[in-house]
Amino acid sequence: MTIEAKVVAITGASSGIGKATATLLTERGAKLVLGARREDRLETLAREITAAHGEIAYVRTDVSRSEDVSRLVALAVERFGRLDVLVNNAGVGPISPLDDLRVEEWEAMVDVNFKGVLYGIAAALPVFRKQGTGQFVTTVSTAGLRIVPGQAVYAATKNAVRTLCEGLRQEAGENIRVTAVSPGFISTEFAEGIANPQTRAEIMERARQFAISPDAIARAIAFAIEQPADVDVNEIVIRPTAQG
């Protein structure tokens, strides 16, 4: 039951849940390979982790591009000789009412939230099969558990990912673990990507009232990773106590 020396790749690692997870796992001895679109933030985080005596590699990664995700996984194998865990964390949430007809934003959510996870599976699954072991950890959302107005497309992408994870779990076999983590309201930059002013204001107000730290999700991810090889934590739901 340990994380020490495991090689963990994380997408969406430059802020929020990804950054919190990277920080916690390096404290527990993991070797990290980080990917995100904002390379300057990745560089800053890498310096911080290296200063804390962590082992890290990073590469700019846009998960909507399959070649970027493949490059992230290849970097892990090149740098550390293996990959033990892929944390599919990158996601976007430009939520809005369907009447806004923000088709490009719908496409972005499909490309990042759903296809990005598919690309992660395509990149890491052959590595895990060759090694005979591995783990997928995917950030989903409670938005898919309780559907509310304004979040139809976002929730749909997250429920697609939840279905995908369950199918992957059933096909993975006895040596590959699959974990889906569904956060509720978390203190992240989520609201900054919302163009609809009313929706953005509502989300920001709810977050101000009861959002919890991304550290809570990082701890859940660490819990799933540190279990013995014959224990597969399939799904974790974490909400603020005050969230309805």
User: Are 142 and 239 contacting, i.e. CB atoms less than 8 angstroms apart?
Assistant: yes
Of the candidates 154, 156, 157, 181, the residue annotated as catalytic is 154
Task: Specify the pairing of strand 85-88 against strand 235-238.
Answer: unpaired
Q: In this structure, what token pair is assigned to residue 63? A: 């998960």
Q: Determine contact, residues 8/32, Cβ cutoff 8 Å.
A: yes
Residue with token string 């939230």: 113
State how far the alpha carbon of 237 is from the alpha carbons of 7, 75, 166, 181, in Å. 25, 31, 15, 6
Q: Name residue, tokens 């997250």.
A: 158
Residue 147 neighbours by CB distance under 10 Å:
12
DSSP 138-198: EE--GGGTS--TT-HHHHHHHHHHHHHHHHHHHHH-TTEEEEEEEE-SBSSSGGGG--SHH
**Closest to 138 measured CA to CA, from 157, 151, 129:** 157
The Cα 110–Cα 93 span in angstroms is 10
Q: Is 119 a known active-site residue? A: no
> What are the residues whose beta carbons fall under 8 Å from the beta carbon of 205, sequence distance 6 or more?
none
User: What amino acid positions are annotated as catalytic residues?
Assistant: 154
